[in-house]
Structure 1
Amino acid sequence: MEAKQPLQSESKEHYSAIVDQPKYQAIRVGNKTLFSRAVGQFFTPPTIATHLVNALVNLLPLKPISVVDPFAGDGRLIVALLQGLSNIGWEKLLRISLWERDSQVLKLARRNVRLFASSCGIPIILRTRVCDTFRVASTFAEEFDLVVTNPPWEILKPDRRELKHLTGSDRDLYLSKLKSEDEFISHQYPLSQPSRKFSGWGTNLSRVGTEAAMLLVRKEGICAVVSPLSLFADQVSENLRRTIVSNYELTDLAYFPAEGRFFKKVDQPSVTFVAKKRPPQRLCPVISVYNSSGELADARRVRLTRKMVKSTGYCLPLQLGAGGFEILSAFSNLPRLAELESNPDSLWAGRELDETDRHAFLTTRGRHPFLKGQMIQRFTIAEQPKLFIRANGPRIPPSASHSRLVWRDVARPNQARRMHATMIPASWVTGNSLNVAFFRDDDTTKLKALLAIMNSIAFEVQVRALLATAHVSLGAVRRVHIPELTNRNIVLSLSTWVDKCLSGDLRAGVHFEVAVAKAYGLAKPRFRELLTFFPLLPEPHTRHLLDSHLWNAKH
């Protein structure tokens, strides 16, 4: 049975009024059209859809239910739902609603769902709506028993590569529509707004879509969402995460690595979550991790404490799996790096010069050598600086008068190690592809101890838990737990190992790791567990780490 509603006109006020035009659908930036960039049009792959459905079908009440996919695409999530329900012998009526802003895609979705429901014998009432979900969701608040969806994946902002394809009037119209849409969404969906925006832009449509899905589900209903990993890992979505964790009973969380290429046109990790709309009595979701071959590598139920989740800004390190949560709990009683910044002679951390237009202020001679991220490696300067800041160039930052610890701002997730830090002397100036830190009292011994900690496996595993992209943000680093640096014996020991590492002693590169692990209070068995999160480390290196004589030393 199908109830078809008239095509709606809500989307005409959407910025898509311009990108819907054929000439803009033809514009490509990389492997995406301007249309797909604006609306975040990426359909859910089978592995992800199947996991999401399997995680929710046994939570449904055995009675007729209402279901909506507010970003339906070609209907594949609802088809997957029908398949999952068929597998458990479901016979109850489903009142299915499909919402989609692309009328042609919605026709395909309607056909797919109708045909599959007929083939598996599940009774349905099917309603379809061509609409802008962001504008109509509030009209249907708490109306559905089940919301299952994959919201659009894009940041609402202009791209210079796109704008160069547009004429002056079209460019102005496109920007105007984007800004109008951003203002509307900011007002209508406050929970999903980033804690900070850059140049006035930054609304993430996947976050907004998640908030819309949460709005649509009724009390005791089920919300099941596909999202980029960044929903549970970035530094700007804490409000939305807090709402999910505080007001919904999370039952299932799953991680899908970027290397799996689950989405053909998306090179980033993704997650799914299933949650029941009721205040949680406890946090005990099943955490599943898939490998790059699309196979389920691990699935375990984890008991989370509110203290631990709150302390991470409600970040959930799904990429580390259930074991990652257990590991991180071992550090929870230690201070955070951010606490080193709390008094007058404390740590200063930040970035120095914007290197975007660096060629305009660099020369071959000068007093202040210029350093970029790619020029450093762990404990070493891989490429000595050959360019200098012009005398009439940008103001030399005050931090350049100190010896500093520096680390790369970018490191891809598929690298064996993601923290690349070393020391640089005073007078050198860094671009913003490096973060820098120094103690205001110029305590270089303590700074070297901090360098050992930041280059360590114990530190990096925590960083990885807080990252969703290749960007090693200062915000994430500040949240990492570190050993107490008030213990002078620890500081002197770590500083000594760093001196050896900086001089090129290869054996010190093994032993300092053990010294840091022991400073964290980790025994050898726990450290062995940490190593499982670094699968790209050469086997001889991991063997040397575990065989280090320092494990048997008393201090």
Structure 2
Amino acid sequence: MIEIKKLIALEDKLIYQNAITLLNSDDLSAPVNAEVHESANARVSDIAACIHRNFLLELISIFVSSKFSNGDDVMRVCFDNKFVNLSGVSISEIDAIPALCEQLHISFLNSKFSISIKSSKVRTKSKEQLIELGAVYTQSHIAKSIVDDTFANLSIPLKDAKVLDFACGTGRFYENIIPHYHDKKKAILSNVYAIDMDINALNITRLKALSFMETISVEECNILCKHIVLKDGFRKNNSFFPEPLYISPEDLDGLTEAGFDAIVSNPPYLILKPNKSKAGIGGFDKIREQVTHYRNCGFYQYSIEGVLNLYKLAIERMLQMLKLGGELGVICPSTLFGDVSAKKLRKHLLLCNNVRSIQFFAEKVSIFENVNQATNIFILQKGGVTSDISISKEDNIFDVNISLVKELFPENLEIPAIKSLEWDILRKLSSLKKLKQIPSIRNRRGELDLSICKEFVTLSPTPHRLVRGNMIDDSGVRDINGEFVLESFISTRSKDYRTFDFNRKRLICQQISNGGLRRRLKFIYCALSDVLGNSCNYISSDEETLAKLYLVLNSSVLNWRFKITSSNNHINNYELDELPIIDLNKVDASFAYASQEELDEYIGSLYGLTKDERKLVAI
């Protein structure tokens, strides 16, 4: 079998030669000179995309011509192309071509193309395309597991079920769906559908479908093309962008509105946040238009809170395409079951459908190729009532009843990625008051907005040191910025601030704390006259209460409690508000400790945690 590395090298050679040709060079093997370097790089990405598509079609041509006697018709109908002979490559192991095409395309998506002055190298590794497209492919064994679990609960015989691979990519789910059917050709032409916006990936999915067949007629080719379609599954009309790729009621045999019995997917993960620094695929104007469309089109109710992400829109869209009682199997970011921006969608999933299972994977677990992402797989039945949810975290599998979720997280219905013993700890903490329920405590963000109020910041010494988040350290505030705040700033603040916060002792923490840190909550004291930037959070109260809170907030138990529902790098005040606080009358404000372990033993015992539980939550 020809090695994928040789195919990639051949593709790179074709890209380089075509780039040089377009620049009118006489020597196709010569490195690009400095004069043409800049103009070459302005076009090389487009050249690479064109060569990549044609090279894939050449490989597909070899497969189709070898497998089908009517190969020219198959190429014309299924791939809108005739036989391609771009490089003259020869492949003896014909059955390996679908896998080779997939590997070649994944390599392309993981690359950036440019012309080098010093060599003929055009490809460098890059996640730029993956990030801008939100295209991260599921490993085949994971896709198989999702398909198996989704099919396990079908309410109708599989032979009668209509199944969709939404955002199919190169068909990782599709190729694991078809083997479930005894008559694979009939399944491809009658039961199984796929949709995606990437023409190269879609062609590979069609190629995989053909690999399950021995013969195919022109009429059957047309059916296959209507079942594996180049369409934008998110759009239901043509009001957004000019290209005719929106879904119409006639597409996918008219099943696009509540017509499918099962849908499986690894939807695109793409935050739709306009950023003027971005260009190309994910450019500012395009993302802004997308956001405007999704918020105003009227098709989405549950997935348009906060910053939009395509994976949340995709989940809502798939539910629309699913029959009542149909089964949905999805792998997506773990933020779905934790982040406040997903609250409305999460509540809809849990309260209006039957969420059967959730399997959590930490960021360190290699679920995707070349990408690390904390994810979950969930299986859901549209409609019905959620009762016991099967939770899986590493090797720990257990049930959590929806009533417990409602009891512990009544506002947001979070389902944290924790083990069964940790749920027991949550039960112990659930009866305690939350920080926000203690009237004498004020939990706020820093008083000086570093963007809006920058005219009050000076390098000339004043009585008021400016404290930014990056100055907060375990040992105290580090004087590393040399900034101060003008006295006139104080009069612009509210009366409450001047009465309860200004010129008083406060506990402070960073507003940004990397989600991967073992210890995320770090509270220290600031000086009385300090002014805090909005990259800090603070808590103010009487000095005795602050002394007790210093011990409690720096304990492992509250660091653990914070981390299990924090899904990003921010330490938000609303998250701190939810922390369970023991009866502060039980805390000795003068308690002295020589290590984190001593503090954790003292505070953990006040929370009623056993030795094993304290060990479980230890920093």
Instruction: Give the TM interval when normalised to the shorter protein.
Output: 0.7 to 0.9
* Distance of aligned partners of 1:103 and 1:328 in 2 relative to their CA distance in 1, 3 Å threshold: same
Unaligned runs of 5+ in 2: 1-73, 81-108, 115-122, 216-220, 237-246, 250-255
Aligned to 1:294: none
Is the 2:196–2:233 contact (alpha carbons within 8 Å) kept by the matching residues of 1?
yes
Tell me whether 1:401 sits opposite 2:503 in the alignment: yes
Q: What CA distance in whole angstroms lies between the structure 1 residues aligned with 2:310 and 2:540? A: 38
Q: Which residue of 2 aligns with 1:284?
A: 388
Cα drift, residue 90 of structure 1? 10
| Post-superposition CA distance 1:372-413 (Å, at most 9, x none) | 3333334x3162455132438966754443211112223334
Alignment of 1:329 with 2:427, yes or no, is yes
555, 562, 568: which one pairs with 1:456? 555
Give the one of 252, 263, 267 matched to 1:151.
267
User: Offset at 1:239?
Assistant: 0.7
TM-score of the superposition, structure 2-length normalised? 0.68
> For residue 539 of structure 2, what is the amino acid of its counterpart?
A
Q: Please state if 1:231 is matched with 2:336.
A: yes
Q: Secondary structure at the match of 1:224?
A: strand
Q: How big is each residue's C-alpha offset from its partner over 1:33-62, in whole Å with a ceiling of 9 and x where there is no partner?
A: 3x6444422222345424423432321243
Letter in 2 for 1:225: V
Normalization by structure 1: what TM-score?
0.75
User: Do the aligned residues in 1 keep the contact of 2:357 with 2:389 (CA within 8 Å)?
Assistant: yes
Q: Does 1:428 align with 2:503?
A: no
Check if 1:274 corresponds to 2:379. yes
Question: In 1, Cα distance between the equivalents of 2:573 and 2:78?
Answer: 50
Tell me which structure has the larger Cα radius of gyration: 2
Q: Distance in 2 between matches of 1:418 and 1:402?
A: 25
Contact residue 255 and residue 272 of structure 1 kept, 8 A: yes
- How far is the alpha carbon of 1:325 from its aligned partner? 2.6
| Match of residue 311, structure 2, among 206, 210, 226 | 206
- For residue 311 of structure 2, give the secondary structure of its aligned residue in structure 1: helix
In structure 1, the residue matched to 2:445 is 350
SS in 1 for 2:425: helix
Secondary structure of the equivalent of 2:478? coil
Q: Which residue of 1 aligns with 2:196?
A: 100
Q: 1:357 offset after TM fit, Å? A: 9.5
Cα distance change of structure 1 residues 184 and 242 upon mapping to structure 2, 3 Å threshold:
same
Q: Which amino acid aligns with 2:150?
A: L
How far apart are the structure 2 equivalents of 1:428 and 1:312?
35
Question: Do the aligned partners of residues 90 and 480 (structure 1) sit closer, same or farther apart at CA in structure 2, a change above 3 Å counting?
Answer: farther
Output the CA distance in 2 between the equivalents of 1:362 and 1:248. Answer: 56
1:111 alignment partner, SS class: helix
Match of 1:529 in 2: 613
Structure 1: runs of 5 or more not aligned: 8-21, 197-201, 291-296, 538-555
Aligned partner of residue 413 in structure 2, secondary structure: coil
* CA shift for structure 1 position 104: 1.9
**3-state SS of the aligned residue for 1:255?**
strand
Hey, what's the Cα distance between the residues in 1 that align with 2:537 and 2:514? 16
Match of 1:506 in 2: 594
**Distance change >3 Å, CA 219–CA 484, structure 1 → 2:** same
Closer, same or farther: CA 159–96 of 1 in aligned 2, 3 Å:
same
* Paired position in structure 1 for 2:176: 80
- Residue 472 of structure 1: how far off its partner (Å): 2.5
Contact 1:372–1:434 at 8 Å: present in 2 too? yes
For residues 59 and 424 of structure 1, the distance between their equivalents in structure 2, rounded to whole angstroms, comes to: 57
What residue is the counterpart of 2:300 in the other structure? Answer: 189
Displacement after TM superposition at 1:189 (Å): 1.1
Contact kept? 1:312, 1:479, Cα under 8 Å: no
**8 Å contact kept, 1:309–1:316:** no
Give the corresponding residue for 1:11.
Answer: none
Letter of the structure 1 residue corresponding to residue 389 of structure 2: P
Alignment partners' CA distance in 2, 1:467 and 1:46:
30
Taking the aligned partners of 2:453 and 2:141, their CA distance within structure 1 comes to 45
SS in 2 for 1:221: strand
1:184/1:481 Cα in 2 relative to 1: closer, same or farther (>3 Å)?
same
The amino acid that maps onto 2:293 is F
Instruction: Report the CA distance shift for 1:131/1:145 in structure 2 as closer, same or farther (over 3 A).
Output: same
Quote the RMSD (CA, aligned, Å): 3.7
Q: 1:208 to 1:455 in 2, by over 3 A?
A: same
Cα distance in 2 for residues equivalent to 1:266 and 1:228? 12
Tell me the equivalent position of 2:400. Answer: 302
Change (3 A) 1:248 1:482: same
Residues 104-144 of structure 1, C-alpha deviations (whole Å, 9 max, x = no match): 2111112124425889xxxx985111111111369422110
Question: How far apart, CA to CA, are the structure 2 residues paired with 1:386 and 1:179?
Answer: 36
The AA in structure 1 aligned to 2:463 is R
**In structure 2, the residue corresponding to 1:475 is in which secondary structure?**
helix
Per-residue CA deviations over 1:183-207 (Å, capped at 9, x if unaligned) read 221132121012x4xxxxx211111
CA-to-partner distance for each residue in 1:80-125, whole Å, 9 max, x for gaps? Answer: 3445x37x99999461111111222111112124425889xxxx98
Counterpart Cα distance in 1 of 2:133 and 2:173: 18
Shift of 1:79: 2.1
CA offsets 1:287-339 (integer angstroms, 9 cap, x no match): 1224xxxxxx3222333425336425111102x13333332122112122222
2:134 to 26, 40, 54: 40
Classify the secondary structure of the residue corresponding to 1:274.
strand
CA offsets per residue over residues 470-497 of structure 1, 9 Å max, x none?
A: 2222222222222134xx3x24x1x212
Q: Is the 8 A contact 1:149 1:224 kept in 2?
A: yes
8 A Cα contact 2:164 2:194, kept in partner: yes
Shift of the alpha carbon at 1:176? Answer: 3.9
The residue aligned with 1:247 is 352
Which 10-residue stretch deviates more, 240-249 or 126-135?
126-135
In 2, Cα distance between the equivalents of 1:431 and 1:30? Answer: 39
Asked if the contact 1:317–1:325 (Cα under 8 Å) also holds between the matched residues in 2, the reply is no
Aligned match of 1:130 in 230, 253, 256?
Answer: 230
Please state if 1:62 is matched with 2:157: yes
Structure with more contact order per residue of length (Cα contacts < 8 Å, sep ≥ 6):
1
Tell me, what secondary structure is at the counterpart of 2:367?
coil
Partner AA of 1:70 in structure 2 = F
Distance (whole Å) between structure 1 residues aligned to residue 125 and residue 607 of structure 2: 45
Q: 1:244 to 1:358 in 2, by over 3 A?
A: same
Q: How many residues align?
A: 470
Equivalent in the alignment of 1:468: 567
Looking at structure 1, the residues matched to 367 and 607 of structure 2 have their Cα atoms a distance apart, in angstroms, of 37
User: What amino acid is the match of 2:380?
Assistant: A
Q: Equivalent residue for 1:553? A: none
Distance in 2 separating the partners of 1:107 and 1:89: 22
Rounded to whole Å, the distance in 1 between the matches of 2:450 and 2:142 is 39
Opposite residue 193 of structure 1, the aligned amino acid is: I
- Tell me the secondary structure at the aligned position of residue 437 of structure 1: strand
Inter-CA distance 357–257: structure 2 relative to 1 (3 Å threshold)? farther
Q: Is the CA contact 1:370–1:385 (under 8 Å) kept in the aligned structure 2?
A: no
Q: Distance in 2 between matches of 1:301 and 1:92?
A: 38
Range moving further from structure 2, 256-265 or 243-252: 256-265
Shift of 1:266: 3.9
- Contact 2:185–2:212 at 8 Å: present in 1 too? no
Contact residue 275 and residue 284 of structure 2 kept, 8 A: no
The answer to whether the 8 Å contact 2:355/2:379 transfers is yes
Moved more, 402-411 or 351-360: 351-360
The Cα of 1:29 is off from its aligned counterpart by 13
- CA separation of 1:431/1:299 partners in 2, compared to 1, >3 Å: closer, same or farther? same
